[in-house]
């Protein structure tokens, strides 16, 4: 049957359509064991990012880097909450895991929007490092609170707009009778693979989106770190070089992790799609990397460690005072 006939006879692209998420149905008896592994990772991710979010929010004066780290943790919290709860529920479900047309589109939109916002935010953080190292005397004047808020709004709006255009384009594609998505969430390559068309034109929205939310921020990060590298080379003092390097290493590690996974999944032709490989990579960037980010920043960033320490000391003091009051209330 030709592609046109397939589209005419089997296509049901409408708001009433449902998709079947195959997820990890092939694990059989291991599904419960896998559920507890993912649940542990999910809870650890929530705890780590929430701790950083609360610690930084409790700081009366937040430098730009702490401000951006706070927003990064907020994005990671939302990022995991979009994917993990349904994936965990599906692992315990004995029946078929379905998701509505609107639900699938909504999940994809917010997943891509948050991922795009994170790309732009990493670019903003690299610019912050550039000003701190290359223009230290102007740092306070340039990276003021109003400018940081403007950067945050641009990052969020940029991710939202690009994601909206990509989602609308993909969900206007014709889907054939088989609505089985061999994935544990509505990811872009999985939906493109399901589309009943062989035209490469339908991959253009993904190419445009990758250019805007992957390539453009990556170029900005590359330019920033090129300037930083040149500035560090001019520093003759080894301790000064070490200090400049330590302020950038955490951001560089997170950038490599984020862009490495995203580039591997999205910057490739539809013909190279592999469901099992994609699910394994998706498990990493939806469960492992969000857990690693707070660990990386907590280990390498003195300001984060100081903020977390003060928050824990404050909570511990409050807990001790509550215990003290409860004991003396009995006398």
- Report d(CA 14, CA 246) in Å as an integer: 52
Least Cα distance to 166 among 196, 144, 186 occurs for 186
pLDDT(311) > 90: no
- pLDDT at residue 323, rounded to an integer: 59
171 inside domain: yes
Q: What is the pTM of this model?
A: 0.84
3-state secondary structure (DSSP) of residue 97: coil
The residue that leads in pLDDT, 264 or 197, is 264
Tell me the average pLDDT across 5-33.
65
- pLDDT at residue 325, rounded to an integer: 60
Domain count for the chain: 1
What are the pLDDT digits (tens) for 199-237? 666 677 778 888 888 889 999 999 999 999 888 888 777
Using CA atoms, how far residue 144 sits from 124, 220, 291, in Å, is 13, 20, 30
- pLDDT at residue 149, rounded to an integer: 93
The residue that leads in pLDDT, 88 or 318, is 88
268 — pLDDT class (breaks 50, 70, 90)? confident
289 inside domain: yes
Sheet holding 98-100, edge to edge: 98-100, 18-21, 180-181
- Report d(CA 230, CA 220) in Å as an integer: 16
What are the pLDDT digits (tens) for 163-173? 999 999 888 88
Token digits of residue 4: 């046109």
DSSP-assigned beta bridge partners for residue 99: 19
Percent of the chain with pLDDT over 90: 23
Lowest mean pLDDT among 44-58, 82-96, 99-113, 316-330: 316-330
Token digits of residue 71: 């927003």
- pLDDT at residue 239, rounded to an integer: 73
* Structural domain boundaries, residue 174: 29-307
3-state secondary structure (DSSP) of residue 308: helix
191 — pLDDT class (breaks 50, 70, 90)? confident
- pLDDT at residue 316, rounded to an integer: 67
Tell me the average pLDDT across 305-319.
67
The residue that leads in pLDDT, 226 or 12, is 226
- pLDDT at residue 11, rounded to an integer: 43
270 inside domain: yes
- pLDDT at residue 123, rounded to an integer: 94
The residue that leads in pLDDT, 297 or 159, is 159
DSSP-assigned beta bridge partners for residue 64: none
Least Cα distance to 186 among 326, 21, 316 occurs for 21
Residue in the block written with tokens 């943790």: 73
326 inside domain: no
- Report d(CA 221, CA 150) in Å as an integer: 18
37 inside domain: yes
- pLDDT at residue 9, rounded to an integer: 40
- pLDDT at residue 7, rounded to an integer: 38
243 inside domain: yes
The residue that leads in pLDDT, 327 or 133, is 133
Least Cα distance to 305 among 58, 52, 74 occurs for 52
24 inside domain: no
247 inside domain: yes
12 — pLDDT class (breaks 50, 70, 90)? very low
pLDDT(151) > 90: yes
* 174, 197 contact by CB (below 8 A): yes
Tell me the average pLDDT across 103-110.
93
Residue in the block written with tokens 């609107």: 102
pLDDT(142) > 60: yes
- pLDDT at residue 209, rounded to an integer: 85
What are the pLDDT digits (tens) for 239-263? 767 777 777 888 888 888 888 888 8
Using CA atoms, how far residue 48 sits from 36, 37, 208, 274, 330, in Å, is 18, 17, 34, 32, 37
The domain that contains 127 carries what CATH number?
1.20.1070.10
Kindly report the average pLDDT of the chain as a whole number: 81
């Amino acid at each position: 049957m030709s592609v046109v006939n397939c589209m005419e006879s089997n296509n049901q692209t409408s708001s009433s359509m449902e998709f079947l998420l195959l997820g990890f149905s092939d694990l059989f008896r291991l599904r419960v064991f896998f559920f507890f592994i993912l649940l542990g990772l999910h809870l650890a991710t929530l705890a780590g990012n929430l701790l950083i979010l609360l610690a930084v929010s409790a700081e009366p004066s937040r430098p730009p880097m702490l401000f951006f780290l706070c927003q990064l943790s907020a994005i990671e919290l939302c990022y995991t909450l979009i994917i993990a709860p349904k994936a965990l529920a599906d692992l315990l479900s004995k029946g078929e895991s379905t998701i509505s047309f609107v639900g699938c589109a909504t999940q994809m939109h917010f997943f891509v929007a948050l991922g795009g916002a994170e790309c732009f935010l990493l670019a903003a953080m690299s610019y912050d490092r550039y000003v701190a190292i290359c223009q230290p005397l102007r740092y306070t004047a340039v990276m003021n609170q109003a400018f940081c808020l403007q950067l945050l709004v641009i990052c969020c709006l940029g991710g939202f707009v690009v994601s909206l255009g990509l989602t609308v384009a993909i969900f206007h594609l014709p889907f054939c009778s088989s609505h089985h998505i061999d994935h544990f969430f509505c990811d872009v390559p999985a939906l493109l693979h399901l589309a009943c068309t062989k035209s490469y034109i339908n991959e253009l929205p993904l190419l445009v989106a990758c250019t805007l939310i992957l390539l453009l921020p990556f170029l900005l990060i590359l330019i920033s770190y090129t300037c930083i590298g040149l500035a560090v080379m001019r520093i003759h003092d080894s301790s000064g070089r070490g200090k400049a390097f330590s302020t950038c290493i955490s951001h560089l590690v997170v950038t490599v992790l984020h862009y490495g996974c995203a580039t591997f999944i999205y910057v490739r032709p539809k013909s190279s799609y592999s469901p099992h490989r994609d699910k394994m990579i998706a498990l990493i960037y939806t469960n492992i990397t969000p857990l690693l980010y707070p660990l990386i920043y907590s280990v390498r960033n003195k300001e984060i460690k100081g903020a977390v320490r003060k928050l824990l000391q404050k909570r511990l003091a409050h807990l001790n005072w509550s215990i003290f009051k409860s004991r003396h209330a009995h006398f």
